[in-house]
């Protein structure tokens, strides 16, 4: 069965559902109608632009262009990680921490999948590299932002407890141990839920897209299993790295808690 192409009229009809939802928000005074409409507009514009970029990228698949687009994706994801936290680290640390953790984890995991598992030639071919990295960054971004938000929130709320532990002779690792563990757990919840529900509650996006494009179901399933494993590993590694470095950043060289390194809410 060939792929059924969608017209812009089809997309316009689908957008009507968002307009109805925004109207209900206005009627019920939920005050989310503006956010809904702006988010829908951003989604449309961003995806159309990405479609044009990918079309050009597929026609001129060079390592430089693929690397440039990957860098842009990483920088935007790093900004979103910082923007979603209530009390991010101030200065360059607020941006570098999440971005660096995602770079190390997502890029390493993507390289592993492209070089050793998929084995396409060339390995950086955008048909595989860009979607895979995009899924890695999207899920890692959510996990890291949740984990760092919880880490700094705990430190702010439990300042007295942490300082008491420090006064009793504990190092920062011991004083923050429970907070770091809970932050890692919170960050991993979305991807663990996604794995647990895959195929039973929902059909993941990549698998659905491949089936709609005519890929045999079992081949789509194998690719989806690969993606889920890669995303989970990459997200977990990034969360561990970000929370460890973030936890250390909350203390100075004399083991004093430094909440002044966080931006006020």
pLDDT at 203 over 70: no
Helix (H, G, I), strand (E, B) or coil at 63: helix
Dihedral (Cα; 57, 237, 191, 212), 10-degree rounding: 20
Q: Which of 59, 89, 106 represents a domain boundary (last residue)?
A: 59
- Reported confidence tier of residue 209, pLDDT bands at 50, 70, 90: confident
Q: State whether 95 and 18 are in the same domain.
A: no
The pLDDT of residue 18: 94
Which residues touch 247 (CB under 8 Å, ≥6 apart)?
Answer: 151, 172, 173, 176, 179, 180
Cα–Cα distances (Å) from 186 to 3, 106, 137, in that order, read: 39, 19, 18
Q: What percent of the chain is predicted at pLDDT more than 70?
A: 94
Q: What percent of the chain is predicted at pLDDT more than 90?
A: 39
Helix (H, G, I), strand (E, B) or coil at 91: coil
Q: State whether 93 and 168 are in the same domain.
A: yes
CB 89 within 8 A of CB 249: yes
Q: Which of 59, 75, 102 represents a domain boundary (last residue)?
A: 59
Residue that has been written with the tokens 């928000």 in this structure: 25
Report d(CA 194, CA 106) in Å as an integer.
18
pTM of the model: 0.83
The pLDDT of residue 201: 65
Q: State whether 234 and 253 are in the same domain.
A: yes
């Amino acid at each position: 069965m060939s792929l059924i192409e969608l017209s812009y009229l089809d997309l316009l009809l689908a957008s009507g559902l968002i307009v109805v939802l925004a109207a209900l928000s206005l009627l019920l005074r939920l005050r989310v109608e503006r956010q809904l409409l702006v988010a829908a507009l951003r989604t449309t514009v961003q995806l159309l632009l990405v479609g044009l970029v990918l079309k050009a990228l597929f026609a001129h698949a060079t390592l430089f262009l693929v690397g440039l687009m990957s860098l842009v994706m990483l920088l935007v994801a790093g900004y979103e990680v910082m923007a979603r936290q209530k009390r991010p680290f101030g200065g360059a640390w607020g941006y570098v921490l999440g971005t660096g953790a995602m770079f190390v984890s997502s890029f390493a995991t993507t390289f592993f999948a492209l070089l050793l598992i998929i084995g396409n030639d060339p390995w950086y071919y955008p048909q595989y590299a860009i979607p895979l990295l995009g899924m890695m960054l999207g899920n890692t971004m959510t996990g890291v932002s949740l984990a760092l938000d919880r880490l700094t929130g705990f430190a702010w709320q439990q300042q007295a407890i942490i300082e008491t532990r420090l006064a009793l002779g504990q190092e920062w690792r011991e004083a923050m141990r429970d907070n770091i563990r809970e932050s890692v757990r919170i960050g991993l919840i979305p991807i663990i839920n996604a794995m647990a529900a895959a195929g039973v509650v929902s059909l993941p996006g990549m698998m659905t897209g491949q089936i709609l494009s005519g890929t045999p179901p079992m081949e789509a399933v194998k690719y989806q299993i690969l993606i889920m494993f890669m995303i989970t590993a990459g997200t977990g590694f990034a969360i561990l790295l970000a929370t460890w470095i973030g936890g250390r950043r909350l203390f100075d060289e004399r083991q004093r808690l430094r909440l002044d390194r966080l931006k006020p809410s």
